[in-house]
Structure formats: C-alpha cells, structure tokens
Amino acid sequence: MVGMDEVAEHPDDPRWQLAERVAEAIRRRFPADVLALAVHGPLAHGDDDGGGDGEVGLLVVTYRPSTGPPSSTRRVDGILVGLTVVDAAERLRQARQLTSRWPLTADRFVTTRSLHDPTGWLRTLRDEHLGRLARARPAEFSAAARTAWYRGSGALARAARLAEWYETDQALLMLGEARLAAATVQGLLGRTYFRDPGDAVRRTGLAGADMTAVGAVLTGQATELAARGRPVDGTVDDLLAG
C-alpha cells in the first residue's frame, strides 16, 4: 500500500488549479480551524488528466468538531468539487475501523496528496490505518465480508423479483448494488482495497455480470465464508448471539 502526501506541481491542470484555489480560500476564511487539507481520488493518484466530469475530492481536517466549512458538493467553473470536512479525532477514529465497506473506503486513508499539512498529520492518518490493518485478525475480515455478502444477496434477490415484475430499470439498479457488494466481499476476503466502486467491479470481473453470474459468485463466497468459520446461514441462537 502506497500513500502520497506531498504536493506536486500541475500548472496546466484545471482540477489542480481549482483544488488549490479552494484550499487557499478555506485557509483564508478559517485560519484557526484547519489542521490539514488534501485531495483524494485521481488527483491524489496522479493520473487525473484534467478532462471529463470527475469530482475533485477534497478532505478538510479541523482541530475541533463543528468548525470550518460545511461538508458540501458544488460545481465550480464547470468542475464538480466535493468537500469532506471532519475533525482530526473523528477522522483517526474512522481510520481505525474495519467495516464491511473497507475495500471502498481505505484508499482515502492511504492515498492522499497534501494541499496544506504543516504538522505531517496526513502521514499519521495513513500510519494509523495501516497499523489497524496490521493488527486485524483474519476473523475480522471474514466477519466484515459476511456482512457485505448479506447486502449483496439481498440486492440480488430484490433484482430478481423486480425483473419478474418487469421493473427493468429498478432491477438493473439493484443488480448494480449486488455486483458492488460481491466485489466488496472479494476485497475483504483478499484484503484488497479499491480506488472507487467502478474500480471494484472492474478488478473483480463483475462489471457487466448478469444475475446468474453474480449469483454464482455469491454462492462461491458463501462456501468460502463457511470454510472460514463464518457461515451465512445459522440458527435463531446464532442470530441472537451476534
């Protein structure tokens, strides 16, 4: 896992220019509140070409809760900008969690590129997350994968029912949710995180998979979960035991 936390020069990239403008405005308006500012997503990975309509994702870390600008999303100069504003203690708490959505959230802890980080806090964030992963037991990943599996199984069942009712558009939406959940299960079982939902379904081979194919993947995952001591089926006592 590789993280990036140093600003690169991108004088001709309109997304970088806008990110720097927004960061400067935030620092000017909230000078006593902001601990760190960073970008995540394609800009942080260094492969954004400045074109298309992708969102510029900005992380604003504050010293205290309920300070700084509000979290929001707006289009500025034709470019979509999303602000995630969170206080430092809460962001570190999030970095220490291992949830069923970990494959879709980890990249934002590991791969950031700094716009303002005088204390090196972003490196602390990355180290906290990587340290949590190093301490995680296999059973934790399996438990999280089972939760994601339930999400995928439920979405697939709903998609099948909607298809029977000829609710094609809704069925396709639910099928998309099932694909993503199955990809998330695969990521948890293999301790692999993804850059975004599109990357998840693409790298797991589930992009464009039909209901039969997704069902087969979920069946295989259920077998693996049972082998890992986390069967997807259980008794009432199992349910009440958590």
pLDDT of residue 12: 77
Q: Cβ(153)–Cβ(190) under 8 Å?
A: no
- Residue pair 61/88 in contact (Cβ under 8 Å)? The answer is yes
Looking at residue 1, its pLDDT comes to 36
Rounded to two decimals, the pTM is 0.91
Q: Which is it for strands 72-76 and 56-62: parallel, antiparallel or unpaired?
A: unpaired
Number of neighbours of residue 207 by Cβ within 10 angstroms: 14
What is the reported pLDDT for 2? 38
Distance CA 58, CA 47 (A): 16
Instruction: At 75, list the tokens.
Output: 């289009």
Q: How many C-beta neighbours within 10 Å does residue 26 have?
A: 21
Q: pLDDT by residue for the chain (242 residues), tens digit each? A: 334 444 445 657 899 999 999 999 999 999 999 999 999 998 999 876 544 457 899 999 999 999 999 999 999 999 999 999 999 999 999 999 999 999 999 999 999 999 999 999 999 999 999 999 999 999 999 999 999 999 999 999 999 999 999 999 999 999 999 999 999 999 999 999 999 999 999 999 999 999 999 999 999 999 999 999 999 999 999 989 88
| DSSP 8-class letter at 116 | E
Q: 72 pairs with which residues across the strands?
A: 83
> Do 3 and 110 contact (CB within 8 A), yes or no?
yes
pLDDT of residue 10: 60
Rg of the chain on CA atoms, in Å: 20
Largest CA distance in the chain: 61
Give the model's pLDDT for residue 54.
72
